[in-house]
Amino acid sequence: MRSAGAILACVLVLALVNFSIAGKERQLENGRIVYLELAPVDPRSLMQGDYMALGFRIANDALPAMPRTNTSGSRRVFGPSNLEAADGRIVAALDERSIASYRRLDDGTPTGANEVLLRYRVREGTLKFATNAFFFQEGTGRRYEKARYGEFRVAPDGEVLLTGLRGTDLEPLK
């Protein structure tokens, strides 16, 4: 009886993992391409190998509008106190090259033709989109020194996947 339960649990876990993978594959195929301007940091880690720590200009632009907790513990205070650990979405405007810029926090209002939702996560006082690092093969770091934009695939619900880094003119890095 226990082994049947364990097998059923394994099958259920594998089904959920495969469902998640299939969803990410669909997003990679059908997601809208959007570029976020980077604010790269030191690309080395002794423990993790070569990588570029990523920050995004749009995150810095959105910070003043983010919900904060004041010292008395009340929520949704907009002031100089710490950012709340939260998940949410921002509305970004897209220019003719699909480069995103901060417009407003998502309040449920429908997005316009040149707007897109971007899901964010606030952790440890930092606003993050998809990932905060881009890993690359050891010894290829010079290729990524020219990175100025992150290329993302964005799903209609705002979920973002980093698919690569691009140069100043959105050219692929070679």
* Measured distance CA(47)–CA(84) in Å, rounded: 30
Q: What is the pLDDT of residues 64-88, one digit of tens each?
A: 888 776 555 544 444 334 666 678 9
Burial annotation 112-121 (CB, 10 A radius, 16+ → b, else e):
eeeebbbbbe
Q: pTM of the predicted model, to two decimals?
A: 0.74
Under 8 Å CB-to-CB from 143, ≥6 apart: which residues? 136, 173, 174
| Percent of the chain topping pLDDT 90 | 29
pLDDT of 127 above 80: yes
For 117, phi and psi rounded to 5 degrees? -85, 140
